[in-house]
């Protein structure tokens, strides 16, 4: 049962991911990206990572992609126009990606993973919250400075002189 | 639960953060004529940060995520030093050619802050987050000349390739985490020494981490962005990018590989060796054909990172010390050369090497400074570059890597040719314009500091060496 769900989700992710880069209309690409990210959230649920799945939907589907769609809709040149997403070198790029894929498959299948013997925490939110407030509180705080820099940078780039 | 927070170790970082925010805020209340003083204010803040770094204690805090030691102190001084020289060289440039002064200086300070956190990180997560802080600020700074097509183009290139390389780095980190079950460098080292088996996926994670960080170092074959971005970015940003950003990448490499992965050195040394050899050969050979001084210095910086990685493969205390020493030497010489380029550009508006014809008559001070900086980059005594390269190569020879050192010396000879092409233009050619170039006091002081550093370390390196010699002890 679980394996069957996994294969369905994997198929959805791969097909929608391919459609993101091959569809000619950038608006359709963005819609496919939403589907792809939903599929990834499904994988997280399958792995009992409830918090990660929620964040995936909230942030990537709800935030990032919606913002992208807004950007496409307010940019006149992009809406409804057919554009190519790739340059003149799809063959070399495809070959490189294919060899990377083979490399990854070979190395993943040949590696023995150590599996933790502890029971997985359920729900994960409390554990993640505690880790973020203790072990990882410094990177957590630094991220806020990263966001500040991104905000200031975006304003500098976007505002009229 | 015991709380393990000792904020006193972070005083330099907190101070710099508050100072940067103040710069953003003060900018609102300033008239257009007063804005250049923000640059001087930033320099004051950086000097206080440097003093605080020297004064604050060494130790570990934040549940082991932050560590202040001689290693982080040495790199902090490099980051702060490059930021000070960069801002000093930028004040005139910003006044004449850029808008948004407060944001320009503030972002440089925040980028420096990210690098300081990076040098103090002791796990992969804080390392990655602080690396992003340093780079995201740089993305904006590269594209700061919004009306300039080259600047926006290079900003876009840097953003896209930088994001892609970060993705590669994070993928490598996540694989390593999956395999070892820990993010801390000490934990990874312990795993490697005891239970961990290795395997193809482990090698792949190392390759991905090296690829991601090599982008920040602009080492071959991940250097494609470097000449275009260096050429298009505002020149002070290029100066900062060529030294501080590389030093940050190097600090990250040393932290990850010397501290976390040193017991599997046999697996990653061949990779670094290849990158180092390629960078030295390609950087120096392609630099010969450049007509633009910024592109020339870009290829030269690719070659310089090749020299530094020669010592990296030695994985020893001497290797760490020599790399930090060379980074200091390189900071003075490379930023010094860029300050001359900026001064010349402020006046002439050109970065072409041909435009430097007759500079020895137009400004003897600029010409002789440029020659000294370039000779230091080649490694000719008594400039500091000689001492720096001597220690880099000594570290490699100590471990028996002779051929890479021979390659380093041979490619240095090639570099002498193209650096001296610039000197040839300045001294033996005469240009159309023979008007004298007046060097404004701030730029002159910045050049003098870089000259003093270059000559002092070249003649008398002992004080610097003894100051940084403790840096490697913590890593082994």
Average pLDDT over residues B437-465: 93
User: Is the CB of residue B332 less than 8 Å from the CB of residue B309?
Assistant: no
Q: Where are the domains positioned within chain B? A: 7-473
Task: Tell me if A107 is assigned to some domain.
Answer: no
> Which residue in A110, A149, A159 has the most chain B C-beta atoms within 10 A of its own C-beta, making it the best mutation to test that interface?
A149
Give the contacts of B35 (CB within 8 A, at least 6 positions apart): B27, B95, B101, B102
Q: Which range has the worst mean pLDDT, A2-16, A60-74, B291-305?
A: A60-74
The pLDDT of residue A79: 62
| Chain A: closest CA distance from residue B248 (Å) | 16
CA distance from start to end of chain B: 31
Question: Structural domain of residue A154, as residue ranges?
Answer: 120-161
pLDDT band at residue A81, thresholds of 50, 70 and 90?
Answer: low
Same domain for A90 and A133: no
With CB atoms and an 8 Å threshold, state whether A107 touches B203.
yes
DSSP tag of B300: H
Same domain for A128 and A96: no
> Which residue in A115, A118, A128, A153 has the most chain B C-beta atoms within 10 A of its own C-beta, making it the best mutation to test that interface?
A153
Q: Residue B378's Cα: distance from chain center in Å?
A: 17
Which among A107, A142, A145 is the nearest to B126, CB-wise?
A142
pTM for this prediction: 0.94
DSSP H helices, chain A, are: 2-22, 26-46, 50-55, 66-74, 90-109, 125-133, 137-158
pLDDT single digits (tens) B233-260: 999 999 999 999 999 999 999 999 998 8
From B61, B95, B58, select the one nearest B73 (Cα to Cα).
B58
With CB atoms and an 8 Å threshold, state whether B129 touches A156.
no
- Cα distance between residue A50 and residue A54, in whole Å: 6
pLDDT single digits (tens) B67-111: 998 999 999 999 999 999 999 999 999 988 888 899 999 999 999
Give the other-Cβ count within 10 Å of B194's Cβ: 7
pLDDT single digits (tens) A85-117: 677 888 998 899 899 899 989 988 888 777 777
With CB atoms and an 8 Å threshold, state whether A107 touches B147.
no
The pLDDT of residue B197: 66
Same domain for A18 and A54: yes
Which among A111, A139, A153 is the nearest to B65, CB-wise?
A139
Whether B201 contacts chain A with CB within 8 A: yes
Mean pLDDT of chain B: 92
Q: Residue B12's Cα: distance from chain center in Å?
A: 20
Whether B233 contacts chain A with CB within 8 A: no
- Cα distance between residue B99 and residue B37, in whole Å: 14
Q: What are phi and psi of B261, to 5 degrees?
A: -110, 20
The pLDDT of residue B471: 76
Average pLDDT over residues B369-374: 96
Q: Which residue has the tokens 């020494």?
A: B193
Same domain for A89 and A22: yes
With CB atoms and an 8 Å threshold, state whether A139 touches B125.
yes
Q: How many domains does chain A have?
A: 2
Same domain for A4 and A43: yes
Task: Tell me if A114 is assigned to some domain.
Answer: no
Whether B122 contacts chain A with CB within 8 A: no
pLDDT band at residue A74, thresholds of 50, 70 and 90?
Answer: confident
With CB atoms and an 8 Å threshold, state whether B199 touches A110.
yes
Task: Tell me if A109 is assigned to some domain.
Answer: no
Same domain for A63 and A30: yes
| Chain A: closest CA distance from residue B389 (Å) | 35
- Cα distance between residue B254 and residue A20, in whole Å: 38
């Amino acid at each position: 049962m679980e394996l069957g769900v996994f294969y369905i989700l994997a198929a959805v992710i791969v097909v929608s991911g391919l459609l993101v880069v091959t569809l000619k209309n950038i608006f359709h690409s963005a819609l496919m990206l939403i589907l792809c990210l939903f599929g990834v959230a499904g994988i997280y649920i399958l792995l009992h990572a409830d918090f990660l799945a929620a964040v995936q939907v909230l942030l990537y589907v709800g935030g990032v992609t919606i913002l992208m769609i807004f950007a496409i809709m307010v940019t006149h040149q992009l809406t409804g126009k057919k554009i190519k997403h790739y340059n003149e070198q799809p063959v070399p790029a495809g070959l490189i990606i294919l060899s990377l894929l083979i490399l990854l498959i070979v190395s993943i299948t040949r590696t023995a993973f150590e599996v933790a013997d502890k029971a997985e925490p359920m729900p994960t939110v409390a554990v993640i919250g505690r880790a973020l407030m203790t072990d990882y509180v410094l990177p957590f705080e630094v991220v806020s400075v990263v966001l500040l820099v991104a905000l200031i940078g975006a304003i500098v780039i976007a505002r009229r002189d | 639960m015991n709380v393990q927070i000792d904020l006193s170790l972070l005083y330099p970082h907190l101070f710099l953060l508050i100072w940067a925010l103040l710069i953003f805020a003060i900018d609102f209340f300033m008239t257009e004529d007063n804005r250049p003083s923000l640059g001087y204010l930033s320099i004051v803040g950086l000097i206080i940060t440097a003093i605080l770094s020297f004064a604050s204690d060494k130790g570990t805090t934040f549940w082991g995520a932050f560590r202040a030691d001689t290693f982080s102190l040495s790199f902090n001084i490099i980051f702060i030093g490059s930021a000070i020289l960069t801002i000093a060289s930028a004040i005139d440039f910003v006044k004449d050619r850029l808008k948004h002064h407060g944001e320009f200086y503030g972002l440089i300070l925040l980028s420096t802050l990210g690098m300081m956190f990076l040098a103090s990180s002791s796990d992969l997560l804080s390392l990655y987050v602080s690396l992003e802080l340093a780079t995201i600020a740089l993305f904006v700074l590269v594209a700061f000349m919004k009306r300039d097509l080259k600047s926006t183009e290079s900003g876009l290139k840097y953003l896209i390739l930088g994001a892609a390389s970060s993705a590669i780095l994070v993928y490598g980190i996540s694989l390593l985490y999956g395999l070892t079950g820990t993010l801390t460098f000490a934990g990874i080292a312990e795993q490697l020494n005891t239970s961990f088996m290795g395997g193809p996926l482990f090698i792949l994670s190392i390759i991905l981490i090296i690829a991601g960080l090599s982008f920040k170092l602009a080492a071959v074959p991940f250097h494609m962005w470097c000449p275009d971005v260096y050429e298009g970015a505002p020149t002070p940003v290029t100066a900062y990018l060529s030294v501080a950003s590389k030093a940050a990448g190097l600090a990250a490499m040393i932290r990850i590989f010397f501290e976390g992965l040193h017991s599997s050195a046999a697996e990653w040394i061949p990779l670094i060796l290849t990158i180092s050899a390629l960078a030295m050969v390609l950087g120096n050979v392609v630099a010969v054909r450049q007509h633009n001084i910024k592109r020339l210095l870009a290829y030269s910086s690719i070659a310089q990172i090749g020299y530094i990685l020669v010592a990296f493969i030695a994985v020893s205390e001497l290797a760490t010390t020599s790399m930090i020493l060379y980074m200091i030497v390189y900071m003075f010489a490379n930023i010094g050369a860029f300050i001359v380029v900026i001064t010349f550009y402020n006046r002439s508006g050109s970065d072409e090497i041909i435009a430097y014809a007759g500079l020895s008559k137009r400004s003897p001070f600029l010409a002789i400074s440029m020659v000294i900086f370039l000779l230091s980059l080649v490694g000719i005594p008594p400039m500091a570059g000689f001492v720096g390269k001597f220690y880099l190569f000594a570290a490699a020879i100590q471990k028996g890597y002779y051929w890479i050192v021979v390659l380093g010396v041979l490619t240095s000879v090639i570099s002498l040719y193209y650096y001296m092409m610039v000197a040839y233009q300045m001294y033996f050619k005469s240009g159309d314009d023979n008007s004298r170039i007046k060097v404004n006091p701030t730029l002159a002081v910045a050049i003098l500091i870089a000259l003093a550093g270059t000559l002092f370390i070249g003649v008398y390196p002992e004080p610097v060496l003894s100051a940084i010699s403790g840096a490697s002890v913590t890593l082994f």
